[in-house]
Amino acid sequence: MKRTTAKRRQLSNAPIISLEHVSKAYSAGAPALNDVNLHINKGEFVFIVGDSGSGKSTLIKLLLRELLPSSGRIVVNGTDVVRLRRRQIPKFRRNLGVVFQDFRLLKDRNVYENVAFAQRIIQKSGREIRKNVPSILSTVGLAGKYKARPKQLSGGEQQRVALARALVNKPQILLADEPTGNLDPKNSWEIMNLLEKINNNGTTVLVVTHNREIVNDMQKRVVTMKKGVIVSDEEKGGYIDED
């Protein structure tokens, strides 16, 4: 592994995401994750790449506390995820922004309501919502489309709404699971540029992707997974071919 820790220490002293000897087995068959160790510092931009079945999605689910590991320790934002009680999960997730490949917007609500929804969950007042939502919509370039319903938007625009929703509560970490998976190259780049901008403002960004071009061009830290194991972790890496 070419990973140098010096650069990481420049960003922060302690990892904001830490996985120690984490394994996850579903039932029969090979484990989805096998003794994974990964540390991501505050403010980092990290790509997680790998083929289908390599364990990327399981990793995201573990970080979101959708799943529990079979063994090992996971600390996110200072919280021991494994020890988290069920009723503590919502509060934990409010410090994480999440973006999915399929956008996962509330289809029967407009852009404004979709973004405001994240604010309502953390019980922001109406005044704060009216201030914060237009501001974040402007950041993602959708100020003029706040009344539109998801089906009236292009894929790129829907992903921007999802990004706005993920960011409106100012999370310290943004998890993006294949955020460009359903987008054309132009929109993909727009989303990645937004993610980079968000990262430059101090948010730690973790992107799971298959997009070789983006990974190679952005020259960020790249963690490559294969069959549940981290096979490579490079500071300014590229997409490693399977063969």
Question: Considering only residues 42-71, where is the footprint of other proteins by CB under 8 A?
Answer: 64, 66
Question: Considering only residues 83-102, where is the footprint of other proteins by CB under 8 A?
Answer: 87, 90-94, 96, 98
* Residue 233 contacts residue 3 (beta carbons within 8 Å): yes
Exactly one of 121, 128, 138, 197 binds other proteins (CB under 8 A); that residue is 121
CA 96 → CA 131, 207, 211, distances in Å?
21, 13, 23
Three-state DSSP at 43 gives coil
The structure tokens listed for 57 are 């999605």
Question: Considering only residues 154-193, where is the footprint of other proteins by CB under 8 A?
Answer: 165-166, 169
Least distance between other proteins and beta carbon 94 (Å): 4
Query: If binding means CB under 8 A, how many residues of this protein chain bind other proteins?
Result: 25
Could you tell me where the DSSP H helices lie in the chain?
5-11, 56-63, 89-93, 111-121, 126-139, 155-167, 185-200, 212-218
Q: For 100, what's the count of Cα atoms within 13 Å in the CB-facing half-sphere? A: 7
Which residue, among 22, 53, 54, 52, has the nearest Cα to 38 in the 3D structure? 22
Nearer to other proteins, 91 or 236 (CB): 91
**Options 27-35, 123-131, 149-157, 218-226: segment touching other proteins (CB under 8 A):** 123-131
Least distance between other proteins and beta carbon 91 (Å): 7
Judged by CB under 8 A, does residue 106 bind other proteins? yes
What does the alpha-carbon distance between residue 234 and residue 44 come to, in Å, rounded to a whole number?
13
Judged by CB under 8 A, does residue 21 bind other proteins? no
> Which residues lie near other proteins (CB under 8 A)?
64, 66, 87, 90-94, 96, 98, 104-106, 108, 117-118, 120-123, 125-126, 165-166, 169
